[in-house]
Chains A and B, each alone.
Chain A
Amino acid sequence: MKYRKTIFSGGEMSPSRRRFVQGLAMGGMAAGLGLTTRTLWANTDQQQKMPTLRGTDYDLTIGEQVVNFTGTPRIGTTVNGSLPAPILRWKEGDTITLRVKNNLPESSSIHWHGIILPSSQDGVPNISDGFHGIAPGTTHTYQFKVAQSGTFWYHSHSGFQEQTGLYGPIVIDPIEPEPFTYDRDYVVMLSDWTDEDPTVVYAKLKKLSHYYNFNERTHKDLMKDLKEKGLARTWSERKMWMQMRMSQRDLADVTGYTYTYLMNGQTPADGWTGLFRKGEKVRLRFINGSAMSFFDVRIPGLKMTVVAADGQYVQPVSVDEFRIGVAETYDVIVEPDDGAYTIFAQSIDRSGYARGTLTPDPAMTAEVPIMDPVPNLTHMDMGMDMSGMGHGMHGMGGMDMKGMDHSQHQMGSMDMKGMDHSKMPMGSGQMQGMDHSKMPMKGMDHSQHQMAGMKMKGMNHSMMPGDGGKKPVHPSDFTSGKVIHAPTEYGPQVDMRAQAPQYRLSDPGVGLRNNGRRVLTYADLRNLRGTNDPRDPDREIQLHLTGNMERYMWSMNGVKFNDAEPLRWKLGERLRITFVNDTMMNHPMHLHGMWSDLETGDNDYIPRKHTVIVQPGSRISYRVTVDAEGGWAYHCHLLYHMLGMFREVQVS
């Protein structure tokens, strides 16, 4: 048996439904290719499924084609007949020319995600300088010099074309030798496919925002809670959620109910296959090209050494698992033994997964793990004010919380005042894993805590050994500004404002806390070659991510894109952007044209990203060197959020 059938952790599923979620075996566009072992070995490109195009000159044709991922033929958006679009393999330093022909009946565009280039080449209609989309039947020529290397991707920036297939990988080979070695190099592009028309998906979300959520808490969960926690605790735990009219299971807007999750364009039933020979080091370039899906990625039995994030080298970190937000990329190196391994990418809400196999033999596959239980959002994810709780809980934001499960904390119900940490009276041993003396304090800095409005008084820091060797961090390294909710955040378009958003760098996020695996967090990301721009920020901008889930409206500072003035930045300035997430969802924020230098507390090794996840109810900040003139897009990369949660940036 190639895969497990129980892919839903709850609820009933008919066989046809199962096939739908799993996808059709040999679905997509592979049907009829008839890959044999020999062709697999002979041609790495073919293993990637999408072709690889190389060189400096490209002719790309955007078109429509029949695809079949679920058993039902549908029209997909393709580039040169491929979905995902072909891998573009560039060389750092080359000047690239891409002639893009649009054969769609509607306007189209291609944006080179994470590539630093002039605004005019960035491919966002009516924001990129002088670019208004590629009209039907016309050809647009992009030309720019490649000034970077690493793993990136490209996608349409028009309409919902990204959902219907217009996304593909970009791999840029560096001029300088890479700081690591490997024998094999695979792109692993994750994406989500729906048979539905994306405009229908959007309309459904507007009419019934939880349309696709079949992971709500039910009678069974309530009975379990009552039995395990008693009435008082169950009530206090759930009270806030019901008062606020929010769901603890609001993890993904669009789910496996309609999505078939793809790995390199292949369904879970098919599974993408990457071959290796024993003893080889394999580089996997993970790209999340989804419209709406976050994935938690692991390869049971293998440690993954993360060597690059968003195309930029980082100091190697060995992990069991990482969360990849929409539009992020991670390069990892694995050293498989002589067996088959499953690359398992479960969606954040556990409604499905993408799957692939690393194997020395195409006939050999590995067991596919069962998905993790559906997690619950916590009060922390609500950005709740926990100041009434004494100091005990406050350190958590910046701490490495492995071994501790936030979801079990009865924050609302506990009287934590004056508590002795060693005697936390937490019911039914929920806190067993919490022992401050064992908490690794990686990346922890007291300034972070103060800034998040925390009171650390009385907390015995001596109990917490720092992660030796790291430089102390100064309070000024992070935003110390107050969280201010703009007047525009008050109105029918905003259903929540985080009261005490914490800087949660080392929080792996909902569903990954305390799962017994070493999970990558942003606190682990350290620039391999040191901070690119050591300047302190000249000024700070606070941007709040806002929305109304029930009405399915998304905005920034309560103002949607259509009603917003462009953000005007000065060429040459160094900015600090502080995001405050006033919603219950993760938002992957993408700034075009300029790097996002993530403030991790280690000023000497600030990592550069192009897309930064802002966790629910949290705050996070990064620095931007404003060195790119012109118009740029700045937005949440969740496709059905970005219509409103979007800003134009004008740099002059």
Chain B
Amino acid sequence: MRKINMMILALSMSGSAFAGGMNDDPFLFMLKMDKFELRDADEGTVLVWDAQAWAGKDLNKLWLKSEGERGEEGTEEGNVEVLYSRAIAPFWDLQAGWRHDFRPTPDRDWAAFGVKGLAPYLFEVDATAYVGESGRMAAALSVEYEYLFTQKLILSPELEMNLYSKDDEAVGVGSGLSDLQLGLRLRYEIVREFAPYIGVNWWNKFGKTADYAEAAGGETSDVEFVAGFRLWF
């Protein structure tokens, strides 16, 4: 019996060594902390994160994304997304799944449907449409570019915006363009996987979103210096 097992083992091993190959498409996972930074906001120092993880193969992956912000009073904004990601074009993945906003409260859940990829002229784009409870709809867009000062010193301008179809006073967002962020970060890749950075981030709230913020005694616009690091493995 043991001999047979050994034979099966040997056969399966030779099978995996097919044609000098290993599997050309191994199951891989990647964890990427795109942003982990402190911002000197008007309301004090806040911690902002933007993290992604995926597991899967060349054309099909499971993605996790999380973005959020922690201030003196704990987590002020935060969401997680779980997405199935499928390559649909050489540079584009279709991503669909679920987004859960756990801050501010009350929680909001959304069905997510978007594209992520590299646009011509090397812009990294992530554009997602959301459908939530009570017929609420939303859209988020992020566009990023990389400019190489040197092989390791990289300037990265970034644009982010959120749109909503309906006012949602409970969580402080109004319909239309609710907020826009422009960031400029200069990172130094000590190694590919780890890069500290500094930068500046401008954001503005618009329309009802701004009104809600004002009513709550908050800011509607700010320019912040940021410092943080990028990490992946």
Contacts and interface: CB of A to CB of B under 8 A. Distances in A.
B14 A646 contact: no
Contacts of A244: 120
Interface stretch (B143-151, B161-169, B200-208, B217-225): B143-151
Interface in B90-111: 90-92
A109 B16 CA distance: 13
B-side interface size class = 35 or more
Nearest to B20: A157
Nearest to B90: A495
Nearest to A216: B148
A560 B91 contact: no
Interface stretch (A127-135, A171-179, A516-524): A127-135
Interface in B33-90: 58-59, 87-90
A230 to B, nearest CB: 20
A12 B135 CA distance: 56
Contacts of B26: 199, 202-203, 206
A560 B24 contact: yes
A475 to B, nearest CB: 35
Contacts of A156: 20
A202 B149 CA distance: 27
B148 A242 contact: no
B122 A492 contact: no
Nearest to B233: A207
A217 B19 contact: no
A499 to B, nearest CB: 16
B118 A126 contact: no
Interface in A313-358: none
Interface string B1-45: 000000000110111111111111110101000000000000000
Interface stretch (A479-487, A546-554, A602-610): A546-554
Given A135-B14, A215-B151, A495-B91, A126 B19 contact: yes
B136 interface: no
A643 B21 contact: yes
A550 B120 CA distance: 13
A160 B122 contact: no
B20 A642 contact: yes
A126 B148 contact: no
A551 B58 contact: yes
Interface in A202-227: 202-204, 206-208, 211, 214-220
B121 A132 contact: no
A107 B91 contact: no
Interface centre among A109, A203, A206, A217, by most chain B C-beta atoms within 10 angstroms, is A206
DSSP class of A's interface residues: helix, strand, loop or mixed? Answer: loop
A585 interface: no
A580 interface: no
B20 A633 contact: yes
Interface in B116-175: 118, 120-122, 147-152
Interface centre among B88, B90, B149, by most chain A C-beta atoms within 10 angstroms, is B90
Nearest to B30: A207
B22 A135 contact: no
A10 interface: yes
A132 B11 contact: yes
Interface string A46-67: 0000000000000000000000
Contacts of A492: 59, 87-90, 92
Nearest to B149: A219
Given A219-B148, A560-B24, A243 B121 contact: yes
Interface in A91-146: 106-107, 109, 111, 124-127, 132-133, 135-136
Nearest to A220: B150
A242 B122 contact: yes
Interface in A175-209: 199, 202-204, 206-208
B118 to A, nearest CB: 5
Given A106-B13, A207-B28, A492-B87, A159 B20 contact: yes
B148 A217 contact: yes
B8 to A, nearest CB: 12
Given A124-B20, A561-B24, A643-B24, A245 B120 contact: yes
A292 B120 CA distance: 29
A494 B59 CA distance: 12
A-side interface size class = 35 or more
Contact of B23 (A124, A493, A553, A643): A643
A256 interface: no
A387 interface: no
A125 B17 CA distance: 7
B141 to A, nearest CB: 19
Nearest to A631: B19
A156 B21 CA distance: 11
A635 B20 CA distance: 11
A243 B19 contact: no
A80 interface: no
A562 interface: yes
Contact of A494 (B28, B90, B152): B90
A11 B90 contact: no
Contacts of B11: 132
A642 B13 contact: no
Contacts of B21: 159, 561, 642-643, 646
Contacts of B17: 106-107, 109, 125-126, 133, 158-159
A400 interface: no
Contacts of A237: none
A381 interface: no
Contacts of B24: 553-554, 560-562, 643-644
Given A107-B17, A203-B28, A160 B22 contact: yes
Interface in A595-652: 633, 635, 642-644, 646, 648
Contacts of A204: 192
A126 B150 contact: no
A620 B25 CA distance: 29
A124 B19 contact: yes
Interface in A144-162: 156-160, 162
A99 to B, nearest CB: 19
Nearest to A633: B19
Contacts of A243: 120-121
Contacts of A160: 22
A243 B123 CA distance: 10
B10 A135 contact: yes
B14 A125 contact: yes
A211 B192 contact: yes
B160 to A, nearest CB: 22
A159 B192 CA distance: 26
Given A495-B91, A550-B91, A648 B19 contact: yes
A132 B12 CA distance: 10
Contacts of B88: 492
B149 A242 contact: no
A431 to B, nearest CB: 29
A162 B20 CA distance: 9
17 contacts: A107-B16, A127-B19, A132-B14, A133-B14, A135-B10, A156-B20, A204-B192, A206-B28, A217-B148, A219-B149, A220-B150, A243-B120, A493-B58, A551-B90, A561-B24, A642-B21, A643-B23
Given A157-B19, A242-B120, 20 more contacts: A126-B15, A133-B13, A136-B10, A158-B20, A159-B22, A202-B22, A202-B26, A214-B152, A218-B149, A219-B148, A492-B89, A492-B90, A550-B90, A551-B87, A554-B24, A642-B21, A643-B21, A644-B24, A646-B19, A648-B19
Nearest 5 A/B pairs, CB to CB? A643-B24, A492-B87, A157-B20, A133-B14, A495-B90
